[in-house]
Amino acid sequence: MIRLENLTTTFGKGQDRFTAVKDVSLDIKAGSIHGIIGFSGAGKSTLLRNINLLQRPTSGQVFVDGVELTGLSESELRKQRHEIGMIFQHFNLLNNRTAQQNVELNLKFAGVPKKERRERTLEALSIVDLADKASAYPGQLSGGQKQRISIARALVTEPKVLLCDEPTSAVDPRTTTSVLQYLSDINASLGITTVIVTHEMNVIKAIADNVSVMEDGAVVEEFALSSLQEPSFEPITPIGRYLISDEITLNRAPKQTPNLVADVARV
C-alpha cells in the first residue's frame, strides 16, 4: 500500500544543513499496522510526514496505493490527500468549531455535498463512541476524547491510509490504551493501513504488526512483532535491543549521606 524509495530529507543550507531522513526505503503492506520507533530527533516524524508530503523529501519517491506522489501537481496531491488520513500528538483540532464541525470540515475539503456530510459525520463520531459529544467544543473535552474526535475527522473521508504522529504521547497511560484500542478496532474492521510513529515500545508491542527502528535518520532494523514470541529472537542493533527491553536502567551512584553524628561530634 505504501512504498517509500530512497527517501532523503534535508533541512537548512550550508553549515546549518541537517539531514533528518537518510536514504530510507520502506514497504508497508495493505491492511497492516506499521510502527516507526526511535528516540527524539531520529527522523521518524519527518519520515511519516514524507508519506503525505506534509514535508517534501529532498529526493526519493513516495507511492501510496500505486500513485507516485512527489510528481503530482498541487491539485492532484490535494485529491490524493483525501485518501490519507492523519492524526497528531496535539490533536490539531479547531478550537472554535464543535466536534461535529471539526469532523465535517474534512468532508467539506473533500468536496462532499452538504446533505451527505451530516450523516457521514455522525457515523464517524459513533465509530469513536462520541456521537453524544457532537456539539461540544474541543475545550470541553478531555485529551482522550479530543484524540478520538481527531480519529473520527481522519476517518470520515474513508481513507485507505491512516498516519499517526505520536498519537498517545500527550495522553495518560489509561487513555493511551483506549486510543490504541480504537485504532486497532478501526484497522481490523475497515482494513485501513495504519502507520504509527512513537517513542514508546509499549505502543508498538500493543498494536503494530511490523516495526521499523530509526536512528539518525536511517531505518537501522525492521522486524515483525510476531517474532518477539520466538525465544531465540533478538534485535540486531543495540538500539533495537534497548527499545524492546523498554526498561529504565540507571547508573545509580552511591549516596553521599552526610554523617550527622560525626558532624555533631566535630562541633
Partner 1 sequence: MNFTSVVLATSNGSAATFNFDRIVELAPEIWVAMAQTFAMLLVAIPIAILLGTPLGIWLYSMSPNGLRPRPRVHRIVDGLVNTIRSFPFLILLIAIIPFTRFVVGTTIGTAAVIVPLTINAIPYFARFVEQNISQLGNGVVEAAQAMGASRGQIIREVLLVEAKPALLSSITIMTVSFISYSAMAGLVGGGGIGDFAIRYGYYRYETGVMLLAIVLMILLVHAVQFIGTRLSRAADKR
Binding residues vs partner 1 (CB under 8 A): 52, 54, 75, 77-82, 84-86, 88, 90, 92-97, 105-106, 108-110, 137-139, 150, 153, 157, 163
* CB 23 to partner 1: min, Å: 25
Spatial contact of 201 and 37, defined as CB atoms under 8 Å apart:
yes
Nearer to partner 1, 34 or 81 (CB): 81
* CB 243 to partner 1: min, Å: 27
Largest CA distance in the chain: 87
* CB 78 to partner 1: min, Å: 4
Nearer to partner 1, 80 or 210 (CB): 80
Phi and psi at residue 137, to the nearest 5°: -90, 155
* CB 100 to partner 1: min, Å: 13
From first CA to last CA, the distance across the chain in angstroms is: 77
Nearer to partner 1, 34 or 153 (CB): 153
Nearer to partner 1, 89 or 177 (CB): 89
Nearer to partner 1, 157 or 212 (CB): 157
Q: Pairing mode, if any, of strands 33-37 and 210-215?
A: parallel
DSSP string, 96-146: TS-HHHHHHHHHHHTT--HHHHHHHHHHHHHHTT-GGGTT--GGGS-HHHH
* CB 25 to partner 1: min, Å: 23
- Number of other residues whose CB lies within 10 A of the CB of residue 5: 17
